[in-house]
Structure 1
Amino acid sequence: MQKIESLNNIAHENLKVNPEFSAELGDNLVSTVTFITEFSEVQKEYPILCRKDPETGEYQAIVFFGLQKDENLFLTEAEPSSQKYVGWRAEYVPAALARGPFSIGAQRDADEGAQGQKPVVHIDMSHPKASCDRGRALFLENGGHSPYLNYITNVLDTINEGIHLTKHMFNALNKYELIEPVTLDIEFVDQSKLTINQFETVNTDKLSQLSGDALEGLNKSGFLQAAYYMATSMSNVRKLIDWKNRKLSAGGDAN
């Protein structure tokens, strides 16, 4: 059960959070949501697809870490001296995973009256990365934010700003019917086969055939570049296949 608390430098003065990545810490996810505010970094490392949220019916951008349930091919043995993010083999970790036990909540702002609210950082004290004896400190001795907490704040800003912008992006792409279903038929070195469907991607042919005014509008909003980021990120599927094939060839468990 979650134990959510509003983060502050008094109650959490000595709190430390484990910044590493591992299956034991809850990072063995095959995918998570991603946001337009981080597409420029995400597309360098991961495939980005999209699908409708079954609860809201709204489109979400999804980043893949593996090809099957509970498979995260980006998790690796911890080598602090050679990894930017310990336990993770990439130069960027998508915000929804990087945030760990942290989230954004709302708090009433006394200066703005009863209607005024401001975003504040919350922490789930039951999360496996929340610890009092090891990890990164959140606050400095004088009560200020540590570099790690500043990083987490930026991660949460990426999510908070990205939620609304990503919704507007999908509204624009759907206006021009640029989203289409995609099926990935994969065969591995051990001759096992896998089909991934129920996801969608950007139709670049339709995108290139849009009128000048439509392209200009998408470009001004930043959605044109985002659409191409989504399309070109699909080349990263091959990386995931290669990584899994290497494990299979070595006789290891690819999960």
Structure 2
Amino acid sequence: MTQHVLLNNVQHQHIKVINQFNAQYGDNVTSVMAFPTEFVELQKEYPIMFRRNAETEKYQAVALLGIQKDENLYLDESLDSGWAGHYIPATLARGPFLIGFQTQQENGETQKVPVIHIDVDHPKVNEQKGRALFLEHGGNSPYLEHVSTLLKVMHQGIAVNDAMFAAFNEVELIEPVNIEIDLDSGEKHRLVGNYTINENKLQSLNAEQLAKLHKAGFLQLAFSVVASMSNIRKLIEMKNRRDRG
């Protein structure tokens, strides 16, 4: 159950948000939506892959967090944050917040302005413990400012998402990838339905194609996706350690 409402410092003055990660809060997810605006950070710790909507044929990037259903290998209850990583994907780090739009009149014109909404039924929302949203004497707390930054990362990422994939498609960089995983326990897993960047094609692009991707800001993102695939080995190592207890 969700109940998204416009955040305000009167009605929600005493609300706090638990800024920790745990399965009980719904953080036990195998993958999360990823945005072009965070690829450079994501590629340091997570495999970035693409998935394709069968109906719209549009691509969306995801950060892979586990191997099996409802498994997030980055959850670690021994850590204060509950997260075994330096950068937390924006989709999870934002917690119960999301961007909404409010219609405002500006210079005689109607404009849609992005505003912060909160899911007041989210399991991390309460009035007893966690991070305050507003300062005692008014103004946003540092935590809410951080959330605002994360939401901008997502909003700006959504804005360039289709253009990025169109640019990748134009030079035929996207290819399907099936991943075979053999664990120390003897278990075997096969990850299907994912796409990645063809590294050989990326390296073979001519100067004009490279320049076009670079000018659009997408060349670095393509290389980030390629680099991120080495994190699949990291996931396997994390899974083997988890299985050994």
TM-score, normalised by the number of residues in structure 1: 0.93
Q: Equivalent residue for 1:35?
A: 35
Query: Alpha carbons of 1:163 and 1:143: their partners in 2 closer, same or farther (altered >3 Å)?
Result: same
Q: Equivalent residue for 1:141?
A: 136
How far apart, CA to CA, are the structure 2 residues paired with 1:106 and 1:58?
24
Q: Equivalent residue for 2:187?
A: 192
Q: Equivalent residue for 2:66?
A: 66
SS of aligned partner of 1:46: coil
How far apart, CA to CA, are the structure 2 residues paired with 1:154 and 1:54?
32
Query: Alpha carbons of 1:130 and 1:112: their partners in 2 closer, same or farther (altered >3 Å)?
Result: farther
Q: Equivalent residue for 1:240?
A: 235
What is the correspondence of 1:195-234 to structure 2 with a 5 Å cutoff? 195-234=190-229
Gaps of 5+ in 2: none
What is the correspondence of 1:94-133 to structure 2 with a 5 Å cutoff? 94-113=89-108, 115-133=110-128
Shift of 1:211: 1.5
Shift of 1:112: 4.8
Percentage of pairs with the same residue = 47
Shift of 1:230: 0.3
How many residue pairs get aligned? The number is 245
Gaps of 5+ in 1: 81-85, 251-255
Shift of 1:110: 2.9
Q: Equivalent residue for 1:57?
A: 57
Q: 8 Å contact 1:46–1:236 — kept in the other structure?
A: yes
How far apart, CA to CA, are the structure 2 residues paired with 1:131 and 1:54?
39
SS of aligned partner of 1:184: strand
Letter matched to residue 103 of structure 2: R
How far apart, CA to CA, are the structure 2 residues paired with 1:52 and 1:114?
37
Shift of 1:116: 1.3
Shift of 1:113: 4.6
Using the TM superposition, name which of 55-64 and 230-239 deviates more: 55-64
Query: Alpha carbons of 1:125 and 1:195: their partners in 2 closer, same or farther (altered >3 Å)?
Result: same
Q: What is the root-mean-square deviation in Å for CA atoms of aligned residues?
A: 1.2
